[in-house]
Amino acid sequence: MLYNRKKHHLENSLPKSIHSTQPPLKFIPQNFNPLILQMMRWCLPFILRFRTRPWLTAGVVKIEAENAEILAELYQQFQAGKIRFLIAFRHPEVEDPLCMLYLLSRLVPKAARQHQINLQEPIHSHFIYERGMTLWAGNWLGWLFSRVGGVPVRRGRRVDKLAIQTARDLFANGKIPIAVAPEGGTNGHSGIVSPLEPGVAQLGFWCVEDLQKSDRPETVFIVPVAIQYRYVQPPWAKINWLLSKLEADSGLTVQSISPSQIDNPGEIYHERICRLGEHLITEMEEFYRRFYHQDLPQIPNQPFITRLHRLLDTGLKIAEQYFDVPAQGNFIDRCRRLEEAGWNYIYRDDIPDINSLPPLKRGLADWIAEEADLRMQHMRIVESFVAITENYLKEEPSSDRFAETALLMYDMLTRIQNSTLPGRPRLGLRQVKITVGEPISVTERWEKSQNNRHAARQAASNLTKDLQTALENLIN
């Protein structure tokens, strides 16, 4: 009964599938307001602790930082006009921006006091957020983000000129630093860093160039920051409940376990997740074979991860064929391009006034928008599983990793059953560890790459690789 009530609440709170064409997604200019920021800071502990919206799982009761004094020293040098820097933070969960706000508003000032580092308010940063967040959260989020320093970006666009120009100007000239999640989106894993997008490195090199053109002496840095979530108490009973629900919803016999086995982090949970994963892949393979006429031969003893990757590729190909988008790059790259292609069919920049369309054209536009939204669901399912690896659970069979994997499966089943945005169940209270890494000098790399254009491109690529390595080292 409890779950049914929650389910009813979610169904009446979350956005449903799109059935009509929509106005274009306009750029939301940043309009920083210190008063709004201060109000956010006051409310932050409550927001972190309690779930205020179905899409916000929250339940964070403790946040601690390692090496926060590094950021305190960087802010001191920034405020003295000696450096510019960008915070490149990991993005495993939707709560990451709240955790970063807590880091900058509470933990960095605390570290500054402990190390007798004098700082001026505000200790804050501009940040880049994905424009689509306002679609599932509501227009209020765009209003709020703009007033606490946010810059929206269309991820899939080859060049989002206005967003890039704004971020570039803020990096070089803003009164506070800027923060970016170089993974481009959440992957649901505290222990895996997704492939980084090249935008952070490019912003760094642009900032150096802009400073050089203005004869300014500041040194430019990128600071890697890792965010990891842990449950305060291992939520084995909740994981058992969630797996039982997923088994029932997917048509499997629920695998009951005895009370003595519930808190046993042994093979039983691993076996259940593998059994459920195999079943879901088999069902989806048959779905694509029968209704989308895909050639998915049944190969005996084929490794699980091979089947999963083949299935993800199939889902993306179906959407790519519809939108006429080339299948280039890794899964994340392909998801980004498909998202932008779908938005171009739904949020029509080419229609000045939707309401002025004659009924025929309006009907056709609505038809295209609805079908585009359905085709994008293939990509949304793929998004949930891009970071899955074969050995993630075997390497560390912890309750945290079992919970992450089970919740990703929940996302998939909920997307198929109900809405475009699943409301996750809360499995337990969580604590967060934020680790600040050593700053990476962009200026030094830029100076060494001025011989030719090829050297500059290689330097940007190497910077992205080194940032990836730095983030991976911070979580290991």
So where are the chain's domains? 24-232+430-475, 236-417
Pick the CATH number of 24-232+430-475 from 3.40.720, 3.40.1130, 3.40.30, 3.40.50: 3.40.1130
Neighbours of 122 (CB within 10 A): 17
Q: 3-class SS at 431?
A: strand
Q: Where are the alpha helices (DSSP H) in 397-452?
A: 399-417, 442-448
> Helix count (H) and strand count (E) of the chain?
19, 8
8 A C-beta contact, residue 310 and residue 296: yes
Do residues 132 and 161 lie in contact, with contact meaning Cβ atoms separated by under 8 Å? Answer: no
Give the alpha-carbon dihedral of 448, 454, 459, 461, to 10 degrees: 180
CA 49 to the chain's CA centroid: 20
Torsion sign across C-alpha atoms 115, 117, 119, 123? negative
Rg (CA), the chain: 23
pTM: 0.90
Q: Which residues pair with 88 in a beta bridge?
A: 180, 224
Give Cβ neighbours of residue 13 (< 8 Å, ≥ 6 apart): 53, 54, 423
pLDDT for 421:
55
Residues 204 and 450: their CA atoms lie apart, in Å, by: 15
- Cα dihedral 353, 366, 292, 301, rounded to 10, equals 70
> For the chain, what is the mean pLDDT?
89
The residue written with tokens 């050089």 in the block is 212
DSSP H or E stretch at residue 347: none
Task: Tell me, rounded to whole angstroms, the distance of Cα 424 from its chain centroid.
Answer: 15
CA dist 49 → 52, 93, 157, 396 (Å): 9, 15, 35, 27
One digit per residue, the tens of pLDDT, for the chain of length 476 reads 333 433 333 333 334 568 889 998 899 999 999 999 999 999 998 888 765 444 445 588 899 999 999 999 999 999 999 999 999 999 999 899 999 999 999 999 999 999 999 999 999 999 999 988 888 778 899 999 999 999 999 887 667 889 999 999 999 999 999 999 999 888 889 999 999 998 999 999 999 999 999 999 999 999 999 999 999 999 998 999 999 999 999 999 998 887 777 666 667 888 899 999 999 999 999 999 999 999 999 888 898 899 999 999 999 999 999 999 999 999 999 999 999 999 999 999 899 899 999 999 999 999 999 999 999 999 999 988 887 887 888 888 899 999 999 999 998 898 888 655 557 888 999 999 999 999 999 999 998 887 777 777 889 899 999 999 999 999 98
Number of neighbouring beta carbons within 10 Å of residue 326: 8
